[in-house]
Amino acid sequence: MPKAGIIYNDVKPIAGRVAIELKDKLTAAGWDVCVTSSIGGILGYSNPDSPVCHTPIDGLTPPGFDSDMEFAVVLGGDGTVLAASRQVAPCGIPLLTVNTGHMGFLTETFLNQLPQALEQTMAGEYEIEERAMLTVKVFRGEAVLWEALCLNEMVLHREPLTSMCHFEIAIGRHAAVDIAADGVIVSTPTGSTAYSLSAGGPVITPGVPVLQLVPICPHSLASRALVFPDTESVNIYPVNIPRLVMVVDGNGGCYVLPEDRVYMERSQYSVRFIRLQPPEFFRILREKLGWGLPHIAKPTSVELP
């Protein structure tokens, strides 16, 4: 019996309703179906009384989800896709992402197209697009305090974000550099269209094997976004701030003290997205972000000189 999964955003009533309908349809077609909420991929938010909410990377996989699963349907927006990615990436399960949210930059299809998309997926008529992920860890000495998989970005800043921070950042074996800024972002190519884009970083197409470091509001004309090979690891040391907060994929993180070290490297795991048509990244940029559209309207009703 073939096996499939469903991951849905239980905060959205429509996603819950569609999950039930989808399970019934797959079960009737002879599939073994496992259903879970994307809340299992939420990392948990730290607070001063509980500065570290640590769930090991492999501990987020839902019961019943394993490498024997042929695919999983994700019902939600981009946040749900990010959470689902952390849940299933260690198992290598392909994800059919269905937008029930707003922008849906990471999603493949919409609810009104789900019946056709499901039939195509069940028949195996799709391509797999792999997206690189980061492994993010916080060390105190040699002990790992916290770890997580990251599809978009890691952000390290002061809480509240009101004053300058100093960081010593070492990329690979290169000499460490000192950056003064409100915070720093380390992102994957997938995350280049998220927070790092708003902070002035470049858009990077998903297949390029690089990472990028983006200072947030740097206090130097020389501190700009840096793109480097994803074979290089990154170590970040807070210098002069009593406590920083780290956020991964806009989700929970942990507090980072001056004696801690934030370590990042390309993960051994990657997200496997189901693409029902050949991936066309520039089309998504045009549709979602308006990239390449004319910046001056030329109405035909007005005679131009």
Catalytic residues, by residue number, are 78
170 is in an annotated binding site: no
64 is in an annotated binding site: no
What are the two backbone dihedrals, phi and then psi, of residue 120, each rounded to the nearest 5 degrees? -65, -40
78 is in an annotated binding site: yes
Tokens of 297: 């309207």
Containing 197, the helix (H) or strand (E) segment is helix 195-198
Tokens of 91: 């198992």
Q: Is 284 exposed, middle or buried (0-12, 13-18, 19+ CB in 10 A)?
A: middle
How far apart CA 162 and CA 158 sit, in angstroms, is: 7
195 is in an annotated binding site: yes
In terms of phi and psi (left: phi > 0; alpha: psi -120 to 50; beta: otherwise), the region of 220 is beta
263 is in an annotated binding site: no
How far apart CA 77 and CA 55 sit, in angstroms, is: 23
Kindly give the pairing relationship between strand 165-171 and strand 260-275: unpaired
118 is in an annotated binding site: no
233 is in an annotated binding site: no
152 is in an annotated binding site: yes
Other residues' Cβ atoms within 10 Å of the Cβ of residue 119: 11
249 is in an annotated binding site: no
Interior/surface letters 238-257, b for 16+ CB within 10 angstroms, e for the rest: beebeebbbbbbebbbbbbe
- Residue entry with tokens 């349809």: 25
280 is in an annotated binding site: no
Pick out the residues of the known binding site.
Answer: 78-79, 152-153, 182, 193-198, 251
Pick out the residues of the known binding site for NAD(+).
Answer: 78-79, 152-153, 182, 193-198, 251
